[in-house]
Amino acid sequence: MRDELRCPACGARKILHAPKVLDADADGRSELAIAKPSVWSSRRVGKLEAYICAGCMLVEWHVKELEGLDEHVDVSVLDGEAPRQGPYR
């Protein structure tokens, strides 16, 4: 939806953009994100934005930037380009 401004589910062209998605926490409201670098820091990494289809309400989430995310702790890398190993040789 973000790039083509078209819903992949219903084809609608009216797309709503939420540049900040807020989350309730102990300090009030802050931006929803994938991770916090430490329990002592209020900084969040992998902040999210959302694109919403006005027709069918489908939501696409996007991370604004990947900087600061730890691939071994915060996220898992699924490599679709890697050759698959089948049961046969």
pLDDT tens, 52-89? Answer: 999 999 999 999 998 888 877 778 877 877 676 766 65
**11 part of a folded domain:** yes
Asked whether residue 46 is domain-assigned, the answer is yes
pLDDT tens-digit series, residues 26-44: 667 888 998 877 777 778 8
Distance CA 8, CA 5 (A): 9
Taking alpha carbons only, the member of 42, 58, 46 closest to residue 10 is 58
Neighbours of 4 (CB within 10 A): 9
Q: Which residues contact 43 (CB under 8 A, 6 or more apart)?
A: 36, 37
Tell me if 12 is assigned to some domain: yes
pLDDT reported for residue 43: 80
What is this structure's pTM? 0.74
In total, how many domains does the chain have?
Answer: 1
- Per the structure, the complete domain to which residue 34 belongs is given by 1-71
